Chain A
């Protein structure tokens, strides 16, 4: 067991956690933040992407005990984020999800793409999305949504 103090969606948390518990399980089972979705649990699918100190990471590959002092933002923590509001609207408009399982991770990656690569073209968006798997949409709607937010921001 390790004592860990971290901030999750702006809330300070201090807990004793078993060392083997990864951040995804901690968020879901200890904090009831079930918006972070676990699928492959070995870093391939991207469904569990959350922000750690502002940048996307795989929650399944991040030990909770290693999060001392970290700021975590999950899909539940973006209510006041203007960019995430734009992305949500664009995902809705372009049908960027069907079942929604990959969506929290997609949005974490999408936000990073828009912030880090404001000039990204379609090829670059698709390349950056290679680490997030979606089994419903064929990616067309997701790519279209991200491209629209990029275009709107460039306008």
Chain B
């Protein structure tokens, strides 16, 4: 299984990347670490003719924090986050998520921005960062815009990016000191994509965000999250069924179980 033919170009900065993508149109594809895109290309599920490598763009690398807002460059790798690149309480939370993404050899190359742009509903960052209230900084040839992750994520493998746009960074607010967090996922084998995900941020100062992921659609931010804290399995089943009516009983039970555990953990 080898990728089909394509042209590779490494972008030196954001402007070069977006210009190259604009030139390529729908046949172009931005690549971070390539840990999702390369398997799809090797399997010929994706066949872009122009790859634009953004993994070495300086403005997209690394993490900075200013006035309670943490900016994570899109090309920051999972391994860097696992090893503590993000400061503070948010960093602890994100390190825990990063450590359970795939395997270390994949985490050494895979990036946050790549995962968000790829938008596999069973991946970790789309659900976890939705619960953490991330905003996505998008760059294009005509300038930038910032979207809440719930606006950015449109569906399974579908995000609000035009062909010439890339994710430059994710921005997150540092959770309050009393914030509680839980992230639960069900995988049959460590490192595999999850069959069910629940993520809960319960921040008395900043609100409650409850997310159900690994669906056939984009991860769902539940409308009445705060009311669900400590909910039992029946209420969790109802809450999951409301956002994912297509789940069979097994899938519903898995998602509800993850959700119940996450809601119990933040209530404890």
Contacts and interface: CB of A to CB of B under 8 A. Distances in A.
B79 to A, nearest CB: 7
A20 B2 contact: yes
Give the interface residue-count category, chain B: 20 to 34
B189 interface: yes
Contact of B8 (A19, A58, A112, A116): A19
Nearest to A64: B8
Interface string A112-140: 10001000000000011011100000000
A57 B8 contact: no
B7 to A, nearest CB: 6
A67 to B, nearest CB: 10
A100 interface: no
B6 A46 contact: no
Interface string B55-97: 1000000000000000000000001000000000000000000
Interface stretch (B99-107, B118-126, B137-145, B220-228): B99-107
B2 A131 contact: no
Nearest to A56: B105
A66 B189 CA distance: 30
Interface residues of A, number: 32
Given A63-B8, A127-B190, A130-B189, A57 B105 contact: yes
A98 to B, nearest CB: 22
Q: Which of B42, B102, B103, B106 has the most CB of A within 10 A?
A: B103
Q: Which of B10, B102, B109 has the most CB of A within 10 A?
A: B109
B108 A131 contact: no
